[in-house]
């Protein structure tokens, strides 16, 4: 008779007995696994302690494997040992966790028991267990562990399931710190490993779709604390860190509670995904929010509340990891380093470039020292940061910050001194946030800690974005960023009070998530801050105005026609003076780059620069005397003719070539580009063929994009054909200028970028391809045949909400403002609706923000008049929404525009 399972557990013996009496082992084991998981999930739904559940899952797998091992006839002595490693070795298994096994064999045993071993592994795969296994001799284990930190980590927390305990203990000793990877080497390797892992996630806890295991503040950060403790102190019990003063009792509680929260989420996530999944993908975030009891309200979406809870735990665990890892660093790596110490004052001294407290009562006896330490770090560039013991004291002191601390004039003065300091202001604000101090000193800031905005546009939480804004403002002054932010860098040098810019940055989004206009509510908070901190009326008014208008410059540059002098005049009236314009430009550039770095490209930079420079010009000549539209048009014509005459063309031929185009052509195009267009038209041999011109512009107005000029016989569906063709070519339209002359020829300019947000560049092959595709589409009057075959990406598909269309008009045009989820063929759909309503598109401003488009179209009827009738405007709005909100596959009504 085959021996009983070596675990001798009752459940293992029961499984073994069933295997001996059943005809179909696979079905039997699947049923056992399914029934056990159903019971564990029932216990999960009944809110049983998650630590019990992950251990229970691991214990069940122990019993199952021991039974199967014995049933397959494998030895239970030194010849073969079945060992759990990795998370399974720690006794931590979630519903679909990998079950990592190592089979320790004597040199001849693997061949002797080859058939039984193959039967064992195959059976585990057949019952759908996520098995990862290796087969190694003792010598192979030792050799591999000696050069691979991940292997020695796995062996360090390994557990024997069945086999010879003495062999397992011999392996543990041969790979322990007395034989290899001593505390110092192990710590350095794990620290390097963690830094590399964090870099994969941009060193932030606040990724849109974070990884529960690997992101900063995830389970790996918790495990790293345990691994180093186990190696250094030779203990698997993290509570021993409390006894050894590496953790306080509160920190130990925080570590366990944070781990348990991540475990709760991970258990639910595995069940939702039906597989091992650690990424909090958008499609799972919504379901998890419901499962954890969050609901939508005026304070935010359920998903945003759930993710704020996650981010706050991630931030807490990441901060605790930083603290403990630094403690290890001081105790392990630097314990024997020579010390250089110099005193700063009675409260602080610097030890090896780290600031430390004179005694551990400093923050209790002198609460203002909490704010003082950050000022000292911002005033001394040689201070790397606080020592770990001081970080702990700061974290503890944050719990005592209340009204008395906030109202203390010394603390208010110190905070302003911090903002006026020369070094690493953003770093100090980030530290204050991580230590829990900033949100206590500024309770309004505390409300945005971990607050996400559920879209692809804002890639950071509001608090991380806010501090990044201040960091960007600081970067403008660095030489290495002078080229990228040349105008902002020059402006920054003449701002009289940089602290006002930083305060506007801190408060511009402070009211996000409260419902209502966050700019207006943030301005109220900013006003209160300025009052509390003793700013005069002039400075306070500037800060409040900046917060209230922080979106004005970006929205004007992206959504309005900034070649129109009336737009410039209106914007200049809002600015009132050069100082406001300077501050707002710096705030806007910092804000855009801190929202999503991919948004900032040379095209957006050129829009803001053009708006800034034209507004500055208007302010200098006085807004009232700023040029009128007719003056601009005449100046442009005269300059264009002069350029062409210099090339040998006759003025009468030039004017005849233009053939009375829309006057806005001379308003929106530069004389240089009009010269480029006209010369090509005059030199064209086949006047009936479409003329396609392409160049990367170097003019200040459109720097950083590619201009594509199209001159052809006009027809109503031309824009639909062009927009579909550009999408097929993977070119995104940023701006479209649509003009016609008296002969009904289209004189159109498209400003486009490639998928990386860059111009096409000097690529003759790509340029020829574009010309061929566009020329063919224009002649055939149809979009490319596979235009509609493109699939919506996983993330875009998740953001599915109704389109919002607003229609207004002025004396000359109708303005259609559209906000909609991005999707393939969107512009072609819009143009088809315009075609159905017999509308002529004059201009389009295209803006894609993550998963959302915010486009503006300027249209007229075929007689050049705006659509003014409310009924027709409503019909147009309804038709656009109906077309854009078609579901499933985004199949168009027609493929060719006949």
* Residue 140 backbone phi and psi in degrees, to 5: -65, -40
On the question of pLDDT at 898 being above 60, the answer is no
Model confidence over 109-123: pLDDT tens digits?
A: 888 999 999 999 999
Find tokens 């002198």 and name the residue: 366
* Residue 75 backbone phi and psi in degrees, to 5: -70, 155
Residues 641-656, mean pLDDT to the nearest whole number: 93
Share in percent of the chain as helix, strand, coil (round to 5): 55, 10, 35
Q: How confident is the model at residue 797 (pLDDT cuts 50, 70, 90)?
A: low
Q: ∠ CA 554-739-895 to the nearest 5 degrees?
A: 90
> Residue 21 belongs to what H/E stretch?
helix 10-21
pLDDT of residue 890: 37
What is the spatial distance between Cα 888 and Cα 880, in angstroms, rounded to a whole number? 17
pLDDT of residue 491: 94
What six digits make up the tokens of 195?
A: 């830094």
CA proximity to 815, closest of 870, 857, 773, 868: 857
Residues 628-655, mean pLDDT to the nearest whole number: 90
pLDDT of residue 703: 63
Residue 482 CB coordination number (10 Å): 13
User: Would you call 99 helix, strand, or coil by DSSP?
Assistant: strand
Following DSSP, what letter does each residue of 103-163 receive, concatenated?
EEE-TTHHHHTHHHHHHHHHHHHHTT--EEEEEEEHHHHHHHHHH-HHHHHHHHT-EEEES
Find tokens 């989820």 and name the residue: 821
What is the spatial distance between Cα 51 and Cα 122, in angstroms, rounded to a whole number? 30
Residues 259-277, mean pLDDT to the nearest whole number: 96
On the question of pLDDT at 47 being above 90, the answer is yes
Model confidence over 506-535: pLDDT tens digits?
A: 999 999 988 889 999 999 999 999 999 999
Residues 707-714, mean pLDDT to the nearest whole number: 94
Quote the percentage of the chain above a pLDDT of 90: 65
Mean pLDDT (the chain) is 89
CA proximity to 551, closest of 522, 513, 515: 522
In angstroms and rounded to an integer, the radius of gyration of the C-alpha atoms of the chain is 34
On the question of pLDDT at 4 being above 90, the answer is no
pLDDT of residue 844: 84
On the question of pLDDT at 1 being above 50, the answer is no
Residues 6+ positions from 223 with CB-CB distance below 8 Å: 90
What is the spatial distance between Cα 8 and Cα 475, in angstroms, rounded to a whole number? 65
What is the spatial distance between Cα 99 and Cα 132, in angstroms, rounded to a whole number? 6
More confident residue, 528 or 78: 528
User: Would you call 213 helix, strand, or coil by DSSP?
Assistant: coil
pLDDT of residue 709: 95
CA proximity to 387, closest of 368, 373, 371: 373
Comparing 423-437, 465-479, 547-561, 727-741, the range with the smallest average pLDDT is 727-741
What is the spatial distance between Cα 398 and Cα 436, in angstroms, rounded to a whole number? 6
Model confidence over 816-834: pLDDT tens digits?
A: 999 888 877 788 889 889 9
Q: Are 550 and 433 in contact (CB under 8 A)?
A: no
pLDDT of residue 2: 39
Q: How confident is the model at residue 252 (pLDDT cuts 50, 70, 90)?
A: very high
pLDDT of residue 625: 62
What is the spatial distance between Cα 568 and Cα 572, in angstroms, rounded to a whole number? 6
Q: What is the 3-state secondary structure (H, E, C) of 414-481?
A: HHHHHHCCCCCHHHHHHHHHHCCCHHHHCHHHHCCCCCCCCCCCCCCCHHHHHHHHHHHHHHCCCHHH
What is the spatial distance between Cα 521 and Cα 355, in angstroms, rounded to a whole number? 38
Q: How confident is the model at residue 397 (pLDDT cuts 50, 70, 90)?
A: very high
On the question of pLDDT at 622 being above 80, the answer is no
On the question of pLDDT at 732 being above 60, the answer is yes
pLDDT of residue 545: 98
* Residue 809 backbone phi and psi in degrees, to 5: -155, 155
Spatial strand order of the sheet with 354-357 comes to 341-343, 348-351, 354-357, 385-386
Model confidence over 680-693: pLDDT tens digits?
A: 999 998 888 999 99
Comparing 373-382, 626-635, 689-698, the range with the smallest average pLDDT is 626-635
Model confidence over 429-477: pLDDT tens digits?
A: 999 999 999 999 999 999 999 998 776 667 788 999 999 999 999 999 8
What is the spatial distance between Cα 63 and Cα 66, in angstroms, rounded to a whole number? 5
On the question of pLDDT at 897 being above 60, the answer is no
Residues 118-136, mean pLDDT to the nearest whole number: 94
- pTM here? 0.84
Rounded alpha-carbon distances, angstroms, from residue 115 to 106, 120, 806: 16, 9, 72
Model confidence over 139-166: pLDDT tens digits?
A: 999 999 999 999 999 999 999 999 999 9
What is the spatial distance between Cα 63 and Cα 14, in angstroms, rounded to a whole number? 9
pLDDT of residue 189: 94
Residues 748-760, mean pLDDT to the nearest whole number: 88
pLDDT of residue 789: 45
Find tokens 């780059």 and name the residue: 593
Q: Are 778 and 732 in contact (CB under 8 A)?
A: no
pLDDT of residue 896: 31
């Amino acid at each position: 008779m085959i021996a009983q399972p070596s675990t001798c557990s009752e459940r293992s013996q029961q499984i073994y007995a069933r295997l001996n009496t059943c005809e179909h082992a696979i079905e039997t084991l699947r049923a056992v696994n399914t029934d056990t998981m159903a019971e564990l999930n029932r216990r999960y739904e009944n809110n049983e302690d998650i630590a019990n559940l992950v251990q229970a899952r691991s214990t069940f797998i122990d019993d199952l494997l021991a039974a199967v091992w014995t049933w397959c006839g494998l030895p239970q002595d030194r010849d073969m040992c079945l060992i759990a490693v990795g998370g399974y070795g720690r006794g931590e298994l979630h519903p679909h966790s990998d079950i990592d096994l190592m089979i320790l064999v004597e040199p001849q045993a693997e061949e002797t028991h080859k058939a039984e071993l193959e039967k064992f592994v195959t059976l585990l795969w057949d019952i759908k267990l996520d098995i990862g296994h290796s087969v190694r001799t003792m010598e192979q284990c030792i050799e591999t562990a000696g050069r691979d930190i991940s292997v020695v980590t796995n062996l360090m927390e390994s557990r024997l399931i069945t086999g010879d305990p003495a062999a397992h203990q011999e392996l543990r000793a041969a790979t322990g710190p007395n034989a290899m990877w001593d505390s110092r080497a192990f710590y350095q390797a794990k620290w390097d490993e963690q830094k590399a892992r964090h870099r994969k996630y941009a060193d932030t806890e606040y990724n849109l779709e974070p990884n529960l295991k690997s992101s900063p503040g995830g389970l790996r950060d918790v495990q790293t604390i345990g691994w180093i403790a186990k190696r250094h102190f030779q203990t698997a019990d993290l509570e021993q860190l409390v006894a050894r003063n590496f953790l306080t009792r509160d920190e130990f509680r925080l570590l366990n509670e944070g781990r348990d929260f991540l475990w709760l989420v991970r258990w639910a996530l595995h069940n939702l995904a039906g597989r091992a999944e650690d990424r909090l993908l958008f499609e799972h975030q919504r379901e998890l929010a419901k499962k954890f009891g969050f609901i939508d309200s005026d304070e935010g979406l359920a998903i945003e509340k759930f993710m704020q809870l996650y981010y706050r735990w991630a931030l807490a665990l990441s901060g605790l990891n930083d603290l403990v890892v630094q403690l290890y660093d001081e105790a392990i790596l630097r314990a024997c380093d020579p010390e250089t110490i110099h005193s700063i004052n009675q409260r602080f001294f610097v030890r090896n470039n780290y600031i430390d407290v004179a005694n551990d009562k400093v923050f209790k006896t002198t609460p203002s020292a909490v704010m003082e330490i950050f000022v000292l770090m911002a005033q001394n560039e040689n201070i790397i940061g606080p020592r770990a013991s001081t970080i702990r004291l700061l974290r503890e002191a944050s719990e005592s910050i209340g009204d008395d601390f906030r109202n203390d004039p010394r603390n208010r003065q110190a905070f302003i001194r911090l903002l006026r300091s020369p070094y690493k202001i953003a770093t100090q604000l980030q530290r204050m946030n991580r230590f829990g101090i900033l949100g206590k000193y500024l309770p309004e800031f505390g409300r945005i800690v971990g607050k996400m905005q559920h879209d692809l546009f804002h890639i950071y939480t509001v608090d991380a974005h806010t501090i990044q804004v201040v960091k960007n403002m600081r970067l403008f002054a660095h030489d290495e960023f002078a080229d990228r932010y040349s105008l902002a860098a020059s402006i920054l040098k003449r701002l009289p009070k940089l602290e006002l810019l930083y305060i506007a940055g801190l408060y511009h989004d402070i009211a996000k998530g409260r419902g209502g206009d966050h700019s207006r509510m943030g301005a109220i908070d900013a006003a209160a801050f300025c009052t509390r901190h003793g700013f005069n009326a002039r400075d306070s008014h500037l800060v409040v105005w900046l917060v209230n208008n922080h979106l004005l410059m970006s929205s004007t540059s992206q959504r309005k026609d900034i070649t129109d002098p009336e737009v410039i005049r209106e914007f200049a009236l809002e600015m009132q003076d050069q100082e406001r314009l300077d501050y707002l430009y710096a705030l806007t550039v910092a804000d855009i780059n801190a929202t999503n770095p991919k948004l900032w490209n040379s095209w957006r930079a050129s829009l803001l620069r053009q708006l800034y420079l034209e507004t500055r010009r208007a302010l200098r000549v006085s807004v009232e005397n700023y040029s009128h539209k007719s003056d601009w048009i005449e100046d442009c014509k005269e300059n264009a003719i002069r350029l062409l005459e210099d090339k040998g063309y006759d003025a009468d031929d030039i004017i005849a070539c233009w053939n009375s185009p829309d006057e806005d052509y001379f308003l929106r195009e530069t004389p240089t580009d009009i010269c480029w267009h006209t010369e090509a038209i005059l030199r064209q041999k086949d006047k009936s063929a479409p003329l396609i011109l392409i160049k990367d512009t170097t003019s200040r107005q459109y720097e950083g994009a590619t201009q594509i000029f199209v001159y052809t016989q006009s027809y109503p569906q031309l824009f639909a054909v062009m927009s579909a063709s550009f999408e097929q070519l993977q070119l995104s339209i940023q701006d479209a200028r649509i003009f016609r002359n008296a002969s009904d020829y289209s004189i159109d300019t498209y400003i486009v970028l490639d998928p990386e947000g860059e111009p096409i560049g000097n690529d003759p092959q790509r340029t020829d391809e574009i010309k061929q595709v566009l020329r063919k589409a224009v002649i055939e009057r149809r979009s490319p045949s596979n235009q509609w075959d493109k699939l919506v990406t996983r993330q875009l598909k998740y953001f599915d909400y109704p389109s919002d269309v607003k229609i207004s008009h002025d004396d000359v045009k109708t303005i259609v403002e559209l906000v909609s989820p991005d999707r393939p063929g969107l512009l072609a759909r819009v143009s088809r609706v315009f075609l159905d309503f017999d509308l002529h598109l004059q201009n389009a401003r295209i803006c894609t923000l993550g998963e959302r488009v915010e486009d503006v179209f300027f249209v007229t009827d075929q007689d050049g008049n705006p659509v003014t009738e409310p009924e027709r405007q409503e019909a147009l709005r309804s038709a656009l929404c109906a077309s854009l909100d078609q579901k499933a596959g985004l199949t168009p009504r027609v493929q060719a525009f006949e």
